[in-house]
Amino acid sequence: MDAIRALGAMSGTSLDGVDAAELVTDGETITAFGKSSYVEYTTQERDALRAALGRWPGAAGVAEAARVVEDAHLRLLDGFARPEVIGFHGQTLAHDPAGGRTHQAGNGRRLATALGAPVVWDFRSADVAAGGEGAPLAPAFHHACARHVGAGHAVAFLNLGGVGNLTWVDPARPMAAEGALLAFDTGPANAPIDDLCQRHAGTRFDRDGALARQGRARTDLVQGLLRHPYFDRRPPKSLDRDAWNGTPIDALPPTDAAATWVAVIAASVARALSQCPAPPERLLVTGGGRRNPAIMAALDALPVPVAPVEDAGLDGDMLEAQAFAFLAVRVLRSLPTSFPGTTGVAMPLCGGRVAGDTGALYDPGAGARQGGERHMAGSRSR
């Protein structure tokens, strides 16, 4: 397949809104970055999504949340020229890989029909069904990014969304090669601070880290939280957005709670770096957390150079959306989207559903039609 123009869309666990970005790619290398845009959820939409967090299909409020997600995506994606394929992540409401299930609200069939373009969606379910963590999925794109920016040695990408996740990349090795990628969730990131701000001030997030910078971190609570078994588990591993609800940190005054969560974020990233095969040449930070000066100041104490991904010529606001454009093309080509080192799945696996007519873009030998959709859930090593 030649490089094609793909459009990716991401709605993260911070529940702020939807990012969309174009990418020209063959699913292995990045040819060009294109237009990007963002739409913010309204207060009513955000409330509907919050009400459905932790719920599974069929539960109260889930259908309404899915409609919110689809409508927001349609508002945003309709402003782009028709792409050759769309990668639609949906909104994660619940994630339980130990129980063999994950739930991203939003139906790709509706988007494919409304936008007149094929949509790849439900990226995580096949991985979880095969025994993987189902997350993170951006590492394949991070590998392509490391090569695109000319990284000569190991580099790490830290995404600070609702949950923190780290990708360690050896760009000298092919993506599917053993030792090329290690990825896992580091621990909490923006979600507990965002929820704190919502509860106590009615604001969506700690703008400029102002709340955290007024407080004092409780070191004993940081150390206590880091004794949770999750942090000693060998990666790959993943977390639900609300895994840390109800900790003693939530009982602190808001300023001290925010400062303590910032300290937890930095300490959990330090622990994550110690689980990598070798120290990365630098840690490139993406996601909303890189805009919080309190978090970035805490990360400066890490034993590796830390910088926002913009220092490498990448767009930290759109990296996740670009990743799902990249993954959509990989699904069309039946290339792996997750690997033993990224989700713990036994073999490299191509997972996702394809809605709509892909025409010549689709390899008819790669998947079976079921209910009008092509299901791409085969393991393959390359």
Q: What are the percentages of helix, strand and coil residues in the chain, rounded to 5?
A: 35, 25, 40
User: In angstroms, what is the C-alpha Rg of the chain?
Assistant: 19
Q: At what angle do helices 43-52 and 62-77 cross, to 10 degrees?
A: 140
Instruction: Delineate the domains of the chain, giving CATH numbers in brackets.
Output: 4-135+318-379 (3.30.420.40), 150-312 (3.30.420.40)
Q: What is the pLDDT of residue 357?
A: 86
Return d(Cα 61, Cα 41) in angstroms, integer: 17
Q: What is the pLDDT of residue 241?
A: 83
Among the listed residues 338, 372, 371, the one whose alpha carbon sits nearest the alpha carbon of residue 352: 338
Residues 100-130 as b/e (b if ≥16 CB within 10 A, e otherwise) read: ebbbbbbbbbbbbeebebbbbbbbbbbbbbb
Measured at the CA of 349, the angle between CA 329 and CA 356, to 5 degrees, comes to 40
Q: What is the pLDDT of residue 362?
A: 52
As a whole number, the mean pLDDT across the chain is 92
Tokens 């990666």 locate to 235
Query: Is residue 41 a contact partner of residue 16, using CB atoms and an 8 Å limit?
Result: yes
Q: Is the pLDDT of residue 368 over 60?
A: no
Read off the pLDDT of residues 274-306 as tens digits, 9 standing for 90 and up: 999 999 999 999 999 999 999 999 999 999 999
**306-308, strands of its sheet edge to edge:** 181-188, 163-169, 155-160, 283-286, 306-308
Q: Is the pLDDT of residue 375 over 90?
A: no
Q: What is the pLDDT of residue 238?
A: 86
What is the mean pLDDT of the segment spanning 227-238?
Answer: 93
Q: Which helix (H) or strand (E) holds 250?
A: none
Contacts with 370 (C-beta within 8 Å, 6 or more apart), sequence order: none
What values do phi and psi take at 85, rounded to 5?
-160, 150
Q: Is the pLDDT of residue 366 over 50?
A: no
Measure CA 140 to chain center: 12
Read off the pLDDT of residues 144-181 as tens digits, 9 standing for 90 and up: 999 999 999 999 999 998 899 999 999 999 999 999 99
pLDDT grade, residue 376 (50/70/90)? low
Q: Is the pLDDT of residue 363 over 70?
A: no
Read off the pLDDT of residues 84-99 as tens digits, 9 standing for 90 and up: 999 999 999 999 999 9
pTM above 0.85, yes or no: yes
Q: Is the pLDDT of residue 374 over 70?
A: no
Return d(Cα 19, Cα 112) in angstroms, integer: 18
Q: What is the pLDDT of residue 380?
A: 35
Return d(Cα 355, Cα 189) in angstroms, integer: 33
